Amino acid sequence: MFRPARDHRLDLSLFLRSLKFIAPAIKVTVLLTVFALTFGLVFGLALAVARVYGNRFAATAAGAYSRVVRSLPTLVVLYIFYNLAWVAFRVGGVAAAVIALTACTTAYQSEIFRGAIQSLGTGQMAAARSLGMSRATAIRSVIIPQVLRLAIPSWSNEAAIVLKDSSLASAVGTAEVFRRSQQIGAANRDYLTAFLAAGLIYFCLTFITNRVLDFAHKRYKLKT
């Protein structure tokens, strides 16, 4: 395991070298996060629509998926998909990490979008149908645009969680931010400094993500 260095004073030179060593891995962390969030948005929205507007089978299946996945630690899901993906397709840790993160965030995003749909009430759908729209058209053209705007604050929190959970990809050998900090910490026998550097990077990425989504919320929030 990671043993702390005997001298607990921060080595500024090593801290800067750690930042430089870890920096190339920021791209991997960002890509893991973006892919997982994007796929999770698409699948999560589909599950939410199925739970609210689908038939009994679709609603039950979507609800069961959400409950099961949200009951499992993300690391467990990652190891499950890593082993399944390796046995079936011989793919590596990056693909397994994207699949696992997507599977987990899909479950949580489905709950976010389901809550947003239910907050609209039944009036929106009834009004769209009274104008001659089909159910599918009403969902696509009336419900989903409003749901996406209503969900931004909760989705912002989920984005930050997925960004931080991307560090779990290090467990299957993916060279993201945390993995690189482990490597330079081991090379210099100073994990504290390396992890502080990684922590600063995660803080900056999370801060930027939250500020961008806060701006989006203010820009696109529904007027009441």
Total count of domains within the chain: 1
Query: pLDDT at position 206, please?
Result: 96
C-alpha to C-alpha distance for 65 and 68, rounded to whole angstroms: 5
Would 52 be classed as within a structural domain? yes
| Range(s) of the domain holding residue 102 | 27-176
User: Are 32 and 166 a contacting pair, CB within 8 Å?
Assistant: yes
Predicted pLDDT at 218: 86
- To 10 degrees, what angle do helices 191-220 and 177-188 make? 160
Q: Confirm whether 12 is domain-assigned.
A: no
Residues 6+ apart with CB under 8 A from 168: 74, 75, 78, 97
Two structure tokens written together for 72: 């499992």
pLDDT on residue 87? 61
Q: What is the pLDDT of residue 88?
A: 62
| 220 located within any domain | no
| Residue carrying structure tokens 């993160």 | 101
Determine, yes or no, domain membership for 20.
Answer: no
pLDDT for the residue numbered 1: 54
Collapsing DSSP to helix, strand or coil, 151 comes out as coil
In a domain, 4, yes or no: no
Is 46 part of a structural domain of the chain? yes
Whether 153 is in a domain gets the answer yes
% helix, strand, coil for the chain, step of 5:
85, 0, 15
Give the separation between CA 107 and CA 61, rounded to whole angstroms: 12
Residue pair 32/20 in contact (Cβ under 8 Å)? The answer is no
Q: What is the CATH number of the domain that holds 162?
A: 1.10.3720.10
Rounded Cα–Cα distance for residues 30 and 134 (Å) = 39
Question: Using CA atoms, how far apart are residues 135 and 141, in angstroms rounded to an integer?
Answer: 10
With a cut of 70, which residues of the chain have pLDDT below it?
Answer: 1-9, 85-91, 222-224
- pLDDT of 122 reads 76
Q: Is residue 47 part of a domain?
A: yes
